[in-house]
A and B are shown apart, each in its own frame.
Chain A
Amino acid sequence: MADAVENKKNIAEGVPTVTLTIDGRETTVPKGTTVLMAARGLGIHIPTFCWHPKLKPMGSCRMCYVEIEKMPKLQVSCALEAMDGMVVLTDSDLVKRGRRAIIEFILMNHPLDCPTCDKGGECDLQDQTFAHGVDDSRFDFQKYRFTEGTEGSTFDDLRIGPEIVLNRNRCILCYKCVRANKEAFGEYDLGAYERGNIMEIHRAPGRQVDNPFSGNLVEICPVGALTNTDWRYKIRVWLTQTTSSICPFSSSGVNTLLYKDDHQQKIFRTTSRPNDDIDDGWLADVTRYGYQIATSPDRLQTPLIKKDGQQVPATWKEALEIINKRLNEIKDKKGRVCIGGIVSPSLDNATLHSFSKLIRVTLGSNNIDYRTQYRMLPKEPENVYDAMSARSFKISDIDDSDVIVAFGSDLVKEHPNEYLRIRKACNFHSASVYSVNPYRVKSADVARREMIYKVGTEEVFLNGLCLAAIEAGMAEGGDLKEKISPSTAAEAAAICGVDAEHLKELAAAMANGRKVTFIAGELVSRSRERLCISSALANLTRLLGLENKGQVSILPHYANSFGAGKLGLLPQPPEGIRNALTELWGAWPEAEPLTTDGMLINMKKEEVNGCIALGCNPVMLYPDREFARESLEKLDFLLVADLYETETTGLADVVLPLASWAEYDGRYINLEGRVQRANRALKPRFESKPGYEIVEAIAEQIGDKLYESSDQCEQEISRLVESSNVQPLPDKYFDVRPAEEESDEEYPIALFVGDDPHHSGHLTEKANSLFNFCGEAYIEMSSELAKKLDLKEGDSARVESKVGKIIVPVRISTTINNDVVFIPRNFSSTTVTALLMRKKRTDRVKISKVVN
């Protein structure tokens, strides 16, 4: 009874409830709750195989039998809705007999190869046989074996994807993998074939199971039917220790568990650490297999020093002495402002903050930036782009939003975790999803309407939305109409190349929606016109009052981008942060601040002579490779710290080995502003050191110790994080006058450069598994375009822009439209950023076939 009262408190008011009795205990649950969930609420465990909390019930394994008074048959509790006055028995003799029978049936054709099976030790079937089964089998026939297609494998194993091995004999047909693939991820590369007792789970004919969420299928498999190749036959689960960590590749801060062995100093796999507020227990493959960057043998082993044009290994002491000497030389030669600091937004708070102090206090420079991958960053402080990209946003609020707009974002590639949330909102809560992009994307598969605007017309589209809302009388425009162009929605629609009706439909949906989530992505952040677009977005937000009934945000892209913003790693941080920092440090450099862009320009002009690049690779990722390279080459002194040898370390005078995120305790701030901790799983490999130790060592060498203890640094960080609030949007409309889009006859095709769904940034190509999914760059294009260019899948295409050319294989895709191509930037073997020009808004290329 006490439980029932307790439960009642947690149920929101106005929600209809039912009261039932489970094993003699009464409980009150919201109407529509299943008996299984009601029992779990009471702490009564009902065993299951096919039930998964994030999937719709299927009721196929029949393990979750319960006995209900007045019902003659056993009922499956996972699909049975709790009714008022129900009397449920979960442990009666009949239930026990039923479970025992199910275990016996399942074990009938299940091979007893637990010694070789990797699931052994964490297998649902083992556990439940132990708990509910009998120790002997009455089945005295040969077990059925699936042998088709498994010639050459002793245990009938079949590789169905780059990283997945299927053993159909072990499969107990719970269909969780197929359902998750279909319901949660929207992928159809795995299916159930045949029927009856010879039914098998198999990849779709002619396909590989290589979708960006495929690792989850292995994790939810209750037996060892699906196994990862990275974990396969490496270690027994009971010999590993777990460390809770977070994903360093996505801005969501997905919670993970690292399975490691202290003896071998190795991480063996990553699994999810379900956190319903963030990830629902699903991991994208880049998160799951990305741990391999930490354990790769290619890691930098010692510091490197350039001697006579050659980089040679050195000790830390030597390296630090050289750093000190060279930095002093530059200081003496030119004055203080000629040093720049570029840092990766994937590093933890302590590293970022101490780096900030090193640059600003010790070196007295204001040139610090974490955004190495964007072109033409705005110089103005406290601009509307910074404001729009640091709105408060809650991932779990996507769930009950009824209108979701994904604008300028290829979600699967940029924010896989949010994509799954949107799917969930669509599947379980019938949310209306609108996908607005310059090209067709995979994530639009759940969209009620997919709108494709012409490349480079983002702000016109947003203006069009404002106009459509005003024209339909859905919002009071005030003086907005005069401030934006074009003047009518129809005109805007024509410029964007979308249907005016669709524009109206979206405006109406956003105006009338109960709760609206508006996500803008990298296509806004990366655009040269990001200020203009964010202004248009701010107008729309204000016009429709979106902040009051939902959330609008330009989502940050990297694990700690949000944190870097909050800690003031911008050349001109918002005033609040600047004041707080000045107060903490007692000083603020007078020098004129420079963004990454500005630094590179000044390097080229030889006005910036020294640079410290921490964990980042501007040569590879800055959207103008030649420009970045030439600028960095002109430096007197370049210090780079990274995990691997990269293009940028190749130019460096001193290279320091950086520890990966799994090798130290670090805190990260995800896109919601949630501070999360990644624990140390391993010792730093070789001679590498965590970022904050490197920064501290440099500062100490210079003679200006930054912090007495790490606590001191942490305290400063927490004060900063607490003090910085979301910037309020100004109470006015912005002028948004779209610029004319330049076109070029010679280079007709728009090029988009971004992350491959299986990669993130410049490090993940070193992860073996991710390399197996995708190991080289490709050019993704529609079949129509390929036909026009006389290209076939796998052909080599020469892609040329005004500044560069590369040759890449062709990949025909169904999710990209005609005049657009996409090339991933994650591979050092393909210098795709060499095609880009930093001053252009849209990168345009021409493509021709390479004839051998």
Chain B
Amino acid sequence: MKEILKALVDVIWKMPQGLLVTFKHMFKKPITLDYPKKKEPMAPRFKGLHYLERYEDGSERCVCCGLCAAACPADAVYMEPDENENGERLAKVYEINMLRCIFCGFCEEACPEEAIFLGREYEFATDSREGFIYSKDQLLVPHPRKESAFKRTIRRIRKIYGVEESR
């Protein structure tokens, strides 16, 4: 008898208690994301896919100096320089092997021309190994473009290094 009573109490009292927990979560905000449709916001210093910046007139900032390649611990950067008709140096070939890249950001730090940055993009899966070798055309930002995050970055860098304006 005692056992029957106890079972009844469990059913009538404790089961709703458990269900309450279940039902409570129906009204909570979910912690997973509807991934391809929704995305997690990035940390401010997230290092994603590289991009090559341009000057405001659309010309490339990269002069193919080779410092990013020299700084790269994974030897992921390959470049061949060239010269344009104004005697400017620019990259004829600029390739980053994303399979090798460890996204350390040394290239960004080494760049003396403020040309390469690690962006926010992380969805660049492809189905072939060759596809992970990004060429210059793929890395260069389109011109013109709206957003001006780049200017902010430059300002910040200049502030850190205390570059003064000349008299």
Contact = CB atoms under 8 A, between A and B. Distances in A.
Interface stretch (B78-86, B97-105, B151-159): B78-86
A235 B166 contact: no
B95 to A, nearest CB: 12
B10 interface: no
B70 interface: yes
Interface residues of B, number: 21
B76 interface: no
B83 A232 contact: yes
B86 A154 contact: yes
B130 interface: no
Contact of A155 (B67, B70, B88): B88
Interface in B26-75: 63-67, 69-70
Contacts of A155: 87-88
B166 A233 contact: no
B109 interface: no
Contacts of B81: 233-236
Nearest to B112: A115
A265 to B, nearest CB: 13
B67 to A, nearest CB: 7
Given A141-B167, A235-B80, A116 B89 contact: yes
B86 A152 contact: yes
Given A140-B167, A233-B81, A235-B81, A115 B87 contact: no
B86 to A, nearest CB: 5
B65 A154 contact: no
A115 B167 contact: no
B61 to A, nearest CB: 10
Contact of A116 (B63, B80, B166): B63
B113 interface: yes
A337 to B, nearest CB: 55
B164 interface: yes
Contacts of A157: 87
A376 B47 CA distance: 77
Nearest to B85: A152
Nearest to B64: A233
Contacts of A264: 80
B66 A239 contact: yes
B65 A236 contact: yes
B65 A120 contact: yes
Interface in A219-267: 232-236, 238-239, 264
A150 to B, nearest CB: 8
A153 B87 contact: yes
Nearest to B111: A115
A115 B113 contact: yes
A712 interface: no
Contacts of B113: 115
A114 interface: yes
Interface residues of A, number: 22
Nearest to A159: B87
Contacts of A233: 64, 81-83, 89
Contacts of B64: 233
B166 A115 contact: no
A238 B70 contact: yes
Contacts of B87: 152-155, 157, 165
Contact of B166 (A141, A153, A232, A238): A141
Contacts of A152: 85-87
Nearest to A155: B87
Contact of B67 (A115, A142, A154, A232): A115
Nearest to A264: B80
Contacts of B112: 114-115
Contacts of A115: 63, 65, 67, 89, 112-113
A271 B17 CA distance: 86
Given A116-B89, A154-B87, A154-B88, A142 B166 contact: yes
B69, B81, B87 interface centre (most CB from chain A within 10 Å): B87
A157 B89 CA distance: 12
Interface in A305-339: none
B114 to A, nearest CB: 11
Contacts of A114: 65, 112
B18 to A, nearest CB: 67
Contacts of A142: 166-167
A121 B113 CA distance: 17
Nearest to B164: A140
A412 B86 CA distance: 36
Nearest to A137: B164
A123 to B, nearest CB: 13
Nearest to A232: B83
A235 to B, nearest CB: 7
B52 to A, nearest CB: 14
Contacts of A121: 66
Interface in B88-140: 88-89, 112-113
Contacts of A116: 63, 65, 88-89
A252 B164 CA distance: 55
Contacts of A140: 164, 166-167
A153 B87 CA distance: 5
Contacts of A165: 87
Contacts of B82: 233
Nearest to A112: B112
Nearest to B83: A233
Nearest to B70: A238
B80, B85, B164 interface centre (most CB from chain A within 10 Å): B80
Nearest to A152: B86
Contacts of B88: 116, 154-155
Contacts of B67: 115
Given A115-B65, A154-B87, A236-B69, 6 more contacts: A120-B65, A140-B167, A153-B86, A153-B87, A165-B87, A236-B65
Instruction: Report, nearest first, the 9 A-B pairs whose CB atoms are least far apart.
Output: A115-B65, A236-B66, A153-B87, A157-B87, A233-B83, A116-B89, A233-B81, A154-B86, A115-B112
Interface of A: 114-116, 120-121, 140-142, 152-155, 157, 165, 232-236, 238-239, 264
19 contacts: A115-B65, A115-B89, A116-B65, A116-B89, A140-B164, A140-B166, A142-B166, A152-B85, A152-B86, A153-B86, A154-B88, A155-B87, A157-B87, A232-B83, A233-B82, A234-B80, A236-B65, A238-B70, A264-B80
